[in-house]
Chain A
């Protein structure tokens, strides 16, 4: 047996020295083309507006490790978990192996030696090569046979997979024929290459194998370098742009994803309010377009798309990407100078020196592309499922709202019923035109004080328009107030002084109205010296938590589920009698996904119920919207395309008798959906506060009976 410490192989075996330079030339050329491909894209991004995305490097690195290295989001999907991991890890191992060769040959450092050569360079590389082949096989199978609806079926995608397959295959041929032709003693350390060598030996002479090796080697080289050069011009660019996009992702909760808009400044400069063309996007938005891997997860989880509407976040990103590259200058209102990079040396200054007029001459995007039709933009519930699903942290939803801003503020072009809600917010401070309830009707018979009356309120109960003005939800806010009373919490409400937080206005796109409401509300709250707020509505919760601080409104904010759970923990509320119905919990988007509050409401269900809550397949981060966010509860959806009915279907499928919720919009949307679908089953929608109040009441009555 030979000494494994001496194991190695000859680099460029069978390749005449006189030809090695050809390979280097190809290498340099492919790198140059690839670099140009990347540079060209980055150059375009620089035409975008500024965005601060390089702060807090440590947090960004962590994100990078979790989502670029460990790919936590990619592996949420079963197919991708396998094939993408195989291909991605295979690429990394093979790239490392190439680096080892370079260190050995080009730097002359003997690293490809001994046990390392056997374990890594031979065995591991061999195995990972096979994994790449398997991965590509699975991916091709998925595209050709499974055909999920969310994928985009392009020739480019097929070609990429084919190219990877051929690269890996020729790699094996090179390895196998080398082993066969040289009868390499360490050949068995490359098991698959060795098998190939054995199989070939049965048919080919050594010399034939040698010749075949020569051919395969060059084919492999051409494929690899061609692929490197071509990649940045295809979706393979994600190899570079995905990590970059993840590093520069937003570090705030998705509930804080909407951009601030300096309306005054836009008025002065004449720049459009909202996004009319690519010129109003930030560089990060533009980078988002290029980072898209076309995986389709966003569209796959989009509630609007799921019920058959035309909205498709993936296509918004991809259409804008194509548009940006088809019109790299006109899309930004830049004169169509020579399109080679003659003046790209000062590309950065272009954005800075660009006149606002030029920006307004930039090609408009809304309605110009199939995916950005106004109809589609008015279907988004701003649920954020797309953002949560995207493996490369693209922010689809804020771009939709950006475009809505333009439609609303510059064109006043939006659905009538939404316009009614906006007008009502303007004139009445709430979106429910024609409501027959007042802000204080629900307090009838309860001793609820207003901030103006209360002297010692420790916390403000922000009831919200949906809680106070929709009759059904008055039961919820009543239950909450009664629970607070019972626990001895000193709270007060604003009563008639309360006004909409502006969430629907903001998500519909009327940033101007939102700003007015935000200023008015924060002023009032600060006037009363409010420190702590309990909100009944997750939308108010999100606004207080993520959007009011910039208007000088810094409060400690609790959703009622959180506050009530805390009171139970502290023993201030003691539910005894348990509801013995089967209960499932529906996550409100603005409580759960957008703000990460998943456990408090579940805890309340658990406390109030005899049985553990049934989890739906689409819950927590993957919760499915009720259909009411983003101003969509003010729109009459087509009968056969209602998001609430789809969610009702999912809820009914659990067999639950009660669906617990924590949002006034979810309550009414789901009640409508369930009533339309439940047939003669008895299924109810109850807020967690109602459930808890029921449990608490029963305990006292039972206690009384026992005495």
Chain B
């Protein structure tokens, strides 16, 4: 049964840069790019990998969508190199802090414009802001069900068999399509390295570009952003290292004192 899959990806600042190179602009409340590169968010790559594996078994089609600045094209080309079938770039032409709701609205509009779909896969959260709400909001916008923290997707009897991680273990979910799932990482969905030939081919493949106007969303409202979501403050936490020895005559006394200090310092219990 061929599955029509849509994968949404996001380009973020390379999270692997040395921490001492990382700066934030407290005023603008955003990270300073500096010398850092832009990469595809790792959970989005896990989602694409999951989609690719599903398609290998079921057949079908993978369309990758991203809402972002011009540079987002690189992330989409990489997705094509990994063997996604089509890529759509929705140009973000100036929304400074895309919030989860407006992003979900934009993505939903694009997906509606595409027409039919069976499943939309997103990363569980992005490596820059880590809000993790887009998948849920997108399902809401599209009016379909959502399953979060999925690490395995298989074809089931009449839909998909999903395995999702929970705080205490995992759950198996039988889901009917269409639906939205958010993907978390697992040893089985480590993103593949594209073949060089495919990387080169990706530059020759067409890439659909849409503007907000093309989608029929209220562009002005989207650009204004900050729907129910505001970054109030942005700072790099200062790490302080203090070394303190507890003393006491007996082991019991020292352990007692040690526990006491932990409670005092962490302010817990």
Contacts and interface: CB of A to CB of B under 8 A. Distances in A.
B195 A438 contact: no
A409 B195 contact: yes
Contacts of A273: 196-197
Contacts of A654: none
Interface stretch (A86-94, A428-436, A445-453): A428-436
B193 A419 contact: yes
B197 A436 contact: no
Contacts of A412: 192-196
Interface string A397-421: 0000000000011111010100100
B269 interface: no
Interface in B22-53: 35, 37, 39
A512 B200 contact: yes
Chain A: interface size category: 20 to 34
A409 B19 contact: no
Interface string B1-35: 00000000000001011111100000000000001
Contacts of A496: 35
Contacts of B20: 436, 438, 441
Interface string B198-217: 01110000000000000000
Contacts of A695: none
A421 to B, nearest CB: 11
A401 to B, nearest CB: 14
A511 B197 CA distance: 11
Nearest to A436: B18
B16 A409 contact: no
Given A267-B200, A438-B18, A427 B37 contact: yes
A435 B18 contact: yes
A241 B134 CA distance: 68
Contacts of A526: none
A408 B199 CA distance: 12
A567 interface: no
A428 B196 contact: no
B199 A512 contact: yes
B16 A411 contact: no
Nearest to B34: A496
Nearest to A428: B37
Contacts of A437: 18
A422 interface: yes
Nearest to B201: A267
B79 to A, nearest CB: 15
Contacts of B190: 416
A428 B193 contact: no
B200 A428 contact: no
Contacts of B39: 427
A512 B197 CA distance: 9
Contacts of A409: 195-197
A441 B20 CA distance: 10
A496 B36 CA distance: 10
Pick the most buried of B192, B196, B201: most chain A CB atoms within 10 A of its CB.
B196
Contacts of B14: 427-428
Contacts of A511: 196
A434 B17 CA distance: 7
Interface of A: 263, 267, 273, 408-412, 414, 416, 419, 422-424, 427-428, 433-438, 441, 496, 510-513
Given A273-B197, A409-B195, A436-B19, 14 more contacts: A408-B196, A409-B196, A409-B197, A412-B194, A419-B193, A423-B193, A424-B16, A427-B37, A428-B14, A433-B16, A436-B18, A438-B18, A438-B35, A513-B196
15 contacts: A263-B196, A267-B201, A408-B196, A410-B196, A411-B195, A412-B192, A412-B194, A427-B14, A428-B14, A428-B17, A428-B37, A433-B16, A434-B16, A438-B18, A510-B196
In the A-B complex, the 10 residue pairs with the closest CB atoms = A409-B196, A412-B195, A412-B193, A512-B196, A436-B18, A419-B193, A427-B37, A496-B35, A438-B21, A438-B18
